[in-house]
Amino acid sequence: MSPVSDNNLEISRRRVLGTVGAAGAAGLVIGAAGGAGISAAVSGDGSETGKAGSGGSTALSTVGATEVMFHGKHQAGITTPLQSRGHLVAFDLAPGAGRKEAAALLRRWSATAKALMAGRTASGAADTGIALDAGPSSLTVTFGLGRTFFDRTGLAARRPGQLDPLPAFSSDALDPKRSEGDLWVQIGADDALVAFHALRALQKDAGEAARVRWQMNGFNRSAGATARPMTARNLMGQVDGTNNPKPADPDFDKRIFVPQGATGAQDWMAGGSYAVVRRIRMLLDDWERLSLDKQEKVIGRRKSDGAPLSGGTETTPLDLNKMGPDGKTVIPDNAHARISAPEQNGGAAMLRRPFSFHDGIAADGTPDAGLLFVCWQADPLRGFVPVQRKLDRGDALSPFLRHEASGLFAVPGGPAEGEYVGQRLLEA
Ligand SMILES: C=CC1=C(C)c2cc3[nH]c(cc4nc(cc5[nH]c(cc1n2)c(C)c5CCC(=O)O)C(CCC(=O)O)=C4C)c(C)c3C=C
Ligand SMILES: [Fe+2]
């Protein structure tokens, strides 16, 4: 088994253990801190996970029993392996709600997230019962704060410069109603009911303090759908995620997380990260009209297995200088993988952790489908922004995409035991 991305690395470990689990202990606990490593195997009889096995003594499957820790250096849902279901939801604080209400809300949300991620029922809001019988199913709940949060709570002086608005890009067709927001929540789980249950519980917890501004639903391939752990595919059919930074890379933490010793306006962000969220519609009818050869040239990689057009396997580094018999570079000058590569962007890198979306068929008959692109970095000005600027100028993929919504959120570090997310900002 050759892991091909950090996500797959983790998935492969999980599945190796999961195979063992089928014959014995079935559940796993995944730590939220630093690389989502597996910290322990737990019994699958339900004693560790609350709801698990409530209907009898049958052990949960590995998918159901896998638990991601709420507490840790970083919030869960950043380096956690991709889950098969996702909800992204942004809230605005209600008129009149300020710092006190925001602190109480984040305290309530943290308590609910912790309980649900452990497979227990929600206590704050009456539990809806949607997730009864299921285990934690790798549920993660990740909380972020938007630029406007700091004005609403009187904390503008502590707003990091990293939350300055993203520049406008020529290919943007952004809908402000589906963009930004005071607060952002990313929910991921390997079970659709567990994910929806968390969404409902958090929405109820918001009570009078905050209202939903926008919500988007996404998905990835289900755990166990492939014969061996593989990098995900997107709705264009491409293997997507291969060249993500890996937790084992020496500069991974520096690139993705705000340093622990951060000072000034950033001190409360130590261990945190910045999420750029883009709803990117794929113009699938146009894309699917391209021949396979043209599709592969647009990306610079083979569609079948994600290998670079310059040769090798999926994990072989791109040879950007390799020339073809026609005297042109084998990976075209405007290929997406070339233009977005860190070596073409002064080292700019980000951790891409997307969900696909499909919201039915639009009035013109085209699928309203694409990518809920979520990327993580210590500083968007050294991650998303330079790369998107470059893509905006000459990416062969751009004609097949439409950026429909955008958000930038500060995602505080993981809460210590007894803490809620954002406490270091709100109670300083
Ligand atoms: C600004 C950042 C990026 C946006 C927006 C983006 C959109 C986007 N990408 C794909 C498909 C693929 N992207 C791939 C690689 C890749 N993409 C970005 C950045 C953005 N993509 C980076 C930094 C990289 C890695 C480059 C490298 O280091 O080699 C690939 C190739 C496989 C891989 O490495 O993941 C594909 C395929 C789509 C469909 C899309 C918008 C919908
Ligand atoms: Fe990309």
Structural contact between residues 188 and 198, judged by C-beta atoms closer than 8 angstroms: no
Ligand 1 pocket check for 242: Cβ under 6 Å: yes
Q: Is residue 60 part of a domain?
A: no
Cβ of 373 below 6 Å from ligand 1 = yes
- Please report whether residue 59 resides in a domain: no
Q: What is the total count of domains within the chain? A: 1
| Residue 371 included in any domain | yes
Reported in sequence order, the residue ranges of 254-347 that DSSP labels E, i.e. its strands, are 273-282
48-106 pLDDT tens trace:
333 444 445 678 888 999 999 999 999 999 999 999 999 999 999 999 999 999 999 99
Q: What is the mean pLDDT of residues 158-185?
A: 97
For residue 419, what pLDDT is reported?
98
Pick from 32-41, 159-168, 390-399, 400-409: least confident = 32-41
Report if residue 307 sits inside a domain.
yes
Decide if 387 is inside a domain: yes
Note the pLDDT of residue 5: 32
Whether residue 196 is predicted with pLDDT greater than 90 in this model: the reply is yes
22-60 pLDDT tens trace: 222 345 777 654 333 333 332 222 233 334 444 456 788
Output helix, strand, coil percentages for the chain, rounded to the nearest 5: 30, 20, 50
* Atom of ligand 1 lying closest to residue 231 CA: 35
In-domain check, residue 327: yes
Q: What is the pLDDT of residues 270-287, one digit of tens each?
A: 999 999 999 999 999 999
* 71 in any annotated domain: no
Look up the domain containing 396 and give its range: 282-408
Phi, psi of 387 (to 5 degrees): -70, -45
Q: What is the residue with the minimal CA distance to atom 4 of ligand 1?
A: 388
SS3 11: helix
CB 243 within 8 A of CB 19: no
Mutate to test the pocket of ligand 1, among 283, 296, 336, 344 (most ligand atoms within 8 A of CB): 336
- C-alpha distances (whole Å) from 158 to each of 4, 153, 424, 426 are 39, 11, 11, 10
Strands (E), 84-242: 85-93, 140-146, 183-189, 210-219
Catalytic residues: 240
Residue 100, domain member (yes or no): no
